[in-house]
Amino acid sequence: MEPSRTSHAATPSVHGSLTSSVPLFDPSQLPLRAWCKGSREDAVTGLVAFPDFHSHIPRCLTAALDEGRLVALAIGDVDGLKDHVERTNSTNPTSYGHLAGNEVMSTVGAATRAWFREQPFGSGCAATFGGDEVILAAVVDDAAQFHKALGVLRDRLGAALPVTVSFALMFVTVGDLPAERERGWKHDFTNTLLAAVDRTLFTHKAARRAGGGQGGVIAVTRPPLLSESDQAGPDPLVLLPLPAASDVVHVVARPDQIGGRDFLLLPCRGPVGQRGAQLRVTFPTGSARTVVAYALRGQAAVPYVAVTDGVTGVPLTVQGVRDRTPRTVPEDLAAALERAGLDWMAVPAHEQAQILHLITEAGTEEIRSGRVTAAVDAVAARKGTSQ
């Protein structure tokens, strides 16, 4: 469903966005919840004006982290806005200057405000950033859920606008707070986070332009390391699941060397088991190959070499690969499992393949029946019961 706009008076038209009357929006409708109260609105978008956001957010952010909450930071940027404005000005005799850009941004603001009102989080706000960017900051309970919700906003904007909007996203926890806190540290810390998100966004936009890909991406990154202290591994709450078959995620991977081997650590949870999981990875050069991702301290990692010294993040496009292991359970095995009240998925994928191969290759019905019984016993053993 497309986001509903506010009333005609509350949503600026192309000409209305240039009027000097303030406020253009009802202040009670500002997209803020507990955070950034008393802020002024941006005249074009109806979002929180960036100077007020920048003044309030360090205190709000660090207070939430000190309480052990999970905070999401996202920045969205309109793809190809300059080209859209120039194209409109050259074809529409009534358009001049940044009128077409104002129209786009007023729609971005209306859609973002409507989306914000639908979200369940109790603390957060949506603000402007530059001429064609928005910032979203919120306390969230589930990283994957917010990532999905951000995809809804991205899709709504793509449907409502003549251009797409790309986002970069980061999840921050109390463990990311700096150990040393000198005067002004809250602003410095917040600026470091926002800079990392912004660099992630434009790194992926540059990679997309170089590779000829489509806009409207959501790139995910981890907060920058503020110390060299030995970490036990990232909090699993801030790691997204690996993409399922045919799903695509855009990430910034962190180079690391483990056991003498070079890896790229993804901001995703690692696969269960020692076999890893196959992923189709597109690298910044535009080359793509299928690799096996492993779990390192719970985090997904893919082997990689030739990372230039000093590089802290590598933009990747990661797609899930459909498991070619046979998954269809024959009727006699399925019936036996159902009678025993057992779940076939309790058996690891590689064991499933072996069992199904043995059943398929059975030369007689008697042998097949025995192998089905053995398969049921194997599933029961995995469950910890006896047959």
What stretches of the chain show up as alpha helix (H) in DSSP? 50-66, 81-91, 99-118, 143-160, 185-211, 331-340, 349-360, 365-383
Q: Which of 80, 65, 56 is nearest to 135 (CA)?
A: 56
For the chain, the farthest-separated pair of C-alpha atoms sits apart, in whole angstroms, at 87
Tell me: cis bond preceding 23? Omega within 30 of 0 counts: yes
Question: Distance between CA 124 and CA 153 in Å, rounded?
Answer: 16
Looking at residue 2, its pLDDT comes to: 28
Question: Distance between CA 246 and CA 242 in Å, rounded?
Answer: 11
Question: Distance between CA 79 and CA 162 in Å, rounded?
Answer: 10
3-state class of 240 per DSSP?
A: strand
CB 263 within 8 A of CB 301: yes
Question: Distance between CA 81 and CA 79 in Å, rounded?
Answer: 6
Helix, strand, coil % over all residues of the chain, rounded to 5: 40, 25, 40
Looking at residue 3, its pLDDT comes to: 30
pLDDT in tens, the chain (387 residues): 223 333 333 333 434 444 433 345 566 678 989 999 889 999 899 999 999 999 999 999 999 999 999 999 999 999 988 888 889 889 988 888 888 888 999 999 999 999 999 999 999 999 998 778 999 999 999 999 999 999 999 999 999 999 999 999 999 999 999 988 889 999 999 999 999 999 999 888 887 777 667 889 999 999 987 755 445 455 556 899 999 887 899 999 988 887 788 899 999 998 876 678 889 998 887 888 898 898 888 899 998 876 666 677 888 999 988 765 445 788 888 888 888 888 787 777 778 888 888 888 888 888 899 999 998 988 888 766 434
Question: Distance between CA 142 and CA 43 in Å, rounded?
Answer: 32
Taking CA atoms, 386 is separated from 327, 374, 380, 383, in Å, by 25, 12, 6, 9
CB 99 within 8 A of CB 16: no
Looking at residue 5, its pLDDT comes to: 34
Looking at residue 12, its pLDDT comes to: 38
Q: Which of 339, 340, 337, 338 is nearest to 356 (CA)?
A: 337
Q: Which of 226, 219, 173, 175 is nearest to 199 (CA)?
A: 219
pTM for the model stands at: 0.75
Structure tokens at 119: 């979200």
Question: Distance between CA 341 and CA 346 in Å, rounded?
Answer: 12
Looking at residue 230, its pLDDT comes to: 46
Looking at residue 343, its pLDDT comes to: 79
What stretches of 182-341 show up as alpha helix (H) in DSSP? 185-211, 331-340
Looking up tokens 């409507």 gives 114
DSSP 119-173: ---SSEEEEEETTTEEEEEEEES-HHHHHHHHHHHHHHHHHHSSS-EEEEEEEE-
First to last CA, the chain: 52
Output the CA torsion 197→75→244→274 (10° steps).
20
Looking at residue 143, its pLDDT comes to: 94
Question: Distance between CA 175 and CA 66 in Å, rounded?
Answer: 9
**59 Cβ neighbours under 8 A, 6+ residues apart:** 186
Looking at residue 17, its pLDDT comes to: 40
Question: Distance between CA 138 and CA 171 in Å, rounded?
Answer: 10
